[in-house]
Amino acid sequence: MYAPQFKPQISAKELKPGRGWFVVAAAIFVLSLIAAVVTLVVALTSLPDIDIKFDDEETKVVELDSDKRYTLYVDTDRSYSVDYFCSVTSVDTGDAVELSDVDTEYTQGKWSSIYHFDVPRDGDYDLLCNGTSERNRYALGERANLWVLTAGITGLFVLPGLGFLIGGVIALVVAVKRNRHKTRLLYQRHYEYYIGQQNPGH
């Protein structure tokens, strides 16, 4: 009769590196998802409030702060103009505020940016706009932080991918090393068993 084949048992706890590294890899991916959500929430909360609205040839009096940066928007659902002409004038002094064209057009819903401006002092200001066509509608809001918005949108896609890549590499390396360690242990157990069979009295 043949002796039963020796099958050494290798406990998962014996293998190195420990299984805790798989937890680390998973945690990195989960944290990357959380970071992506946080950056998106921060970006969304930075969206400007566009709540002061007025029509063509309508003078709108608003109170503005000198420590804020403002943007004039046009309603793209109602506007058919090619050019827009706007003015911002201090009610107290009659001085006109310099308006600057937008370098990068920003659109939020139906509102598209047309001018940026800052005011030199706190106070009331007259807003007046008109376009090359009638029935245009305008709005005033604070200037959008495009860097924060871009970072939030980019982070939503980049961070999870980066977390998956780093976590995946860690998990793969750990799995390969544990498999190699198991192979060495199996060889060692077989060798010890063989030596024991050859020298039963020792």
102-130: pLDDT as tens digits: 887 888 888 999 999 999 999 999 999 98
Distances (CA, A) of 74 to 9, 26, 93, 162: 74, 47, 27, 39
For 29, the 3-state DSSP assignment is helix
- Residue 178, pLDDT score: 92
* Other beta carbons less than 10 A from residue 64's beta carbon: 21
- Contact indicator for 59, 127 with CB cutoff of 8 Å: yes
* Range among 37-41, 60-64, 100-104, 185-189 with highest mean pLDDT value: 60-64
Structure letter (DSSP) for residue 12: G
Tokens standing for 22? 């798989």
Rg (CA), the chain: 34
Instruction: Quote the pTM value.
Output: 0.64
Nearest to 120 by CA among 100, 144, 97, 141: 97
- Residue 201, pLDDT score: 56
- Contact indicator for 117, 88 with CB cutoff of 8 Å: yes
Please tell me the distance from the alpha carbon of residue 68 to that of residue 63, in angstroms, as a whole number: 12
Task: Fold for 48-144, please state it.
Answer: Jelly Rolls (2.60.120)
For 28, the 3-state DSSP assignment is helix
pLDDT surpasses 70 at 18 = yes
With a pLDDT cut of 90, the percent of the chain lying above it is: 49
Structure letter (DSSP) for residue 13: G
Q: What is the mean pLDDT of the chain?
A: 87
